Structure 1
Amino acid sequence: MAEKNGIVASVIETVKTIVYALLIAGVFRTLFFQPFWIPSGSMKDTLLIGDFLFVNKMAYGYSYASCPSILIPALGVDIGADDFCGMFEDSDDRLFGSDPERGDVVVFRHPVTGRDFIKRLIGLPGERIQVVDGQLFINDEAVPQVEAGIFSEIMEPQGSGRQRPQCFNGAVGDGAECIKQKFVETLPGGISHDILNIGNRALDNTGVFTVPEDHFFFMGDNRDNSTDSRVAQVAGGVGFVPRKDIVGRADRVIFSSAGRSMLAFWTWRGDRFFEKVE
């Protein structure tokens, strides 16, 4: 009997340890940092498919979107921040809140689907945003772009989604060089970052977007391969992103793998470990 009681006590202690560990991890993820894998090429060459980073949730304060979301398709797990903190979703206030700055690379919840997105902040509340022949205009002023050579990669399936890149040099076969034009864009305020060009695409010319109060306008650095604020939510895009849907700021790549799994060590990109996101 004593042995049986000892086993039961051991099991209880193990369960308690697991529960405490999960609670601590949940609090840490909610208040401080959230892990994020880059699933697509929309932010090349700033972020590559397979980059792993921690999102700094302290940067802009907290809203319902700061609560963790858990997506594990293989196990059928799809828990959103609104499942944990939906009672706060209608509030526009952010605890200890501050607005992101133009040029920040920001993770936010898609206003319709609730999926986490990562893009660069381009337009602030009240501003007018337009793209004409691939040139970004903010408040009717052209944002300077300077040619910076090419971005080159191998045509092959990338990441767990096995996506193939799009190329400025047209359709190329697997193993061939896929190139994109690269420019350095300097936003108002002096933040400079790379952008990529694949060719003449529909989103190279847009109407004028006037950013509403308490909303922001985001774009991907891989301009011709990004679903962002240039596409309305009703058309499957991001549209204007409310302040309450902002999760945090991407500051640094922690780890990077070009393969389907982080366990495939021969695909690790060691030169990207701990690289600052700019």
Structure 2
Amino acid sequence: MDFDFSAILLGLTVLFGVVWGLDRLFFYRRRKARLAAQGREYRDPAPVDWSRSLFPVVLVVLVLRSFVAEPFRIPSGSMMPTLDVGDFILVNKFAYGLRVPAFNNKFLSLGEPKRGDVVVFRFPGYLCRDEAGRLRRVGGDESGPPMLGPGYRCPEQPLPVQQQNWIKRVIGLPGDVVEVHDSQITINGKPVKADYVGPFTGDRRRPEDAELLAYGATIWNEHLDGVDHLIARMPDRMPTQPIPNELVPSRVPEDCYLVMGDDRENSLDSRWWGCVPEKNLAGKAFLIWMSWKGWGTGGVDWRRIGTVVH
């Protein structure tokens, strides 16, 4: 999700507003008087007419997307089975405060993430060690090295995609002590409990389903601080990065959130690149409004439409 539509909307809003505003301040009266003196019907020039017509439209869209709700499409299977590839979701943009469009600077605080929230955020980049051994953030790609393991430090040529929007579930809050070993999570000394539901069932024609089926994935109902949600486990797929590790400490830093995907063995999350800074939060996912499984593999999944995300 690299496309920064908010920045484009903001730019168009400013452009149309400036063109229309400057015309009304400096040119409109003289042009109207001149045309009236010539006995001609008044008409705005095409650029002004377009700006006057489009300014309120893009302004309303910008306000709604920036401060009320914004649509996103799920591009990967890291949040299965909660969110599937092809789900279109709505994200509450005021759940954690109001932010300046495109720049993401918070100017009004309305709340903070809770453990178990499904959040959308700007990918903060990988945690890497420089030549002096100090941790720093560098860009990265969610489709990047799939076989990361202990000892991994940084991509040799990291990609600058820190404006990319990702979606994960909040596991650790600021100040929490979190330990993760494979699918077992312990928060502040208490293991997170999960009940076995059954084997994963899906359509082998879909790559994301085929992988889960190939590794004998099982579905569990996880109880995370009062939030019950389904997770997928594939312990035979590959060893996952534990927490703590050499880059990610067990204690979550202040103004930062530890996040993980619900497909626990197939999610590039805080275990690999650290916590999400508060300033990177974009909002809280709350509703699936459309779900498209693809041509020949289910089409529109009507059962998922209207599902509340939790």
TM bracket, shorter-chain basis: 0.7 to 0.9
Q: Report the Cα offset of residue 13 of structure 1.
A: 3.0
Q: Which stretch shifts more, 191-200 or 44-53?
A: 191-200
Given the alignment, which residue of 140, 153, 163 partners 2:202? 153
Given the alignment, which residue of 255, 280, 286 partners 1:214? 255
Residue identity in the other structure for 2:220: F
Residue identity in the other structure for 1:244: K
Give the secondary-structure state (helix, strand or coil) at the position aligned to 1:23. Answer: helix
Distance 1:271 1:50 in 2: 13
Q: Which stretch shifts more, 248-257 or 107-116?
A: 107-116
2:212 is aligned with 1:167: yes
Distance 1:59 1:128 in 2: 25
Given the alignment, which residue of 132, 140, 150 partners 2:181? 132
Size of the aligned set, in residue pairs, is: 233
Q: Report the Cα offset of residue 16 of structure 1.
A: 2.2
| 1:190-242, Cα deviation, whole Å (9 max, x unpaired) | 2111110122432264425210011111010000111111112xxxxxx2111
What is residue 307 of structure 2 aligned with on the other side? 275
Distance 1:152 1:265 in 2: 14
Distance 1:209 1:165 in 2: 33
| 1:112-141, Cα deviation, whole Å (9 max, x unpaired) | 312111111110111111122421111122
2:87 is aligned with 1:19: no
Identity, in percent, stands at 34
Structure 1: runs of 5+ lacking an equivalent: 68-80, 171-178, 233-238
TM value normalised by structure 1: 0.75
Distance 1:127 1:44 in 2: 25
Given the alignment, which residue of 172, 182, 191 partners 2:219? 182
Distance 1:272 1:23 in 2: 31
Q: Report the Cα offset of residue 6 of structure 1.
A: 6.8
The answer as to whether partners of 2:114 and 2:170 remain within 8 angstroms in 1 is: yes
Give the secondary-structure state (helix, strand or coil) at the position aligned to 1:218. Answer: strand
2:290 is aligned with 1:245: no
Given the alignment, which residue of 68, 72, 79 partners 1:32? 68
Give the secondary-structure state (helix, strand or coil) at the position aligned to 1:210. Answer: coil
Distance 2:191 2:232 in 1: 17
Q: Report the Cα offset of residue 103 of structure 1.
A: 0.7
Give the secondary-structure state (helix, strand or coil) at the position aligned to 2:58. Answer: helix
Distance 2:194 2:182 in 1: 12
Distance 1:8 1:94 in 2: 37
Taking a change above 3 Å as real, the CA distance of residues 180 and 94 of structure 1, as seen in their structure-2 partners, is: farther
TM value normalised by structure 2: 0.68
The structure that is strand-richer by fraction is 1
Which 4+ runs in 1 deviate beyond 4 A? Answer: 4-12
Given the alignment, which residue of 105, 113, 119 partners 1:106? 119
Structure 2: runs of 5+ lacking an equivalent: 1-34, 126-161
Q: Report the Cα offset of residue 184 of structure 1.
A: 1.0
What is residue 21 of structure 2 aligned with on the other side? none
Q: Report the Cα offset of residue 36 of structure 1.
A: 0.5
The answer as to whether partners of 2:178 and 2:243 remain within 8 angstroms in 1 is: no
Q: Which stretch shifts more, 14-23 or 103-112?
A: 14-23
Residue identity in the other structure for 2:185: L
Distance 1:194 1:266 in 2: 22
The within-5 A match list for 1:33-112 is 33-64=69-100, 67=101, 81=102, 85=103, 88=105, 94-112=107-125
Taking a change above 3 Å as real, the CA distance of residues 185 and 265 of structure 1, as seen in their structure-2 partners, is: closer
Give the secondary-structure state (helix, strand or coil) at the position aligned to 2:271. Answer: coil
Query: Considering only CA atoms, is the larger Rg found in Structure 1 or Structure 2?
Result: 2
Given the alignment, which residue of 193, 208, 218 partners 1:144? 193
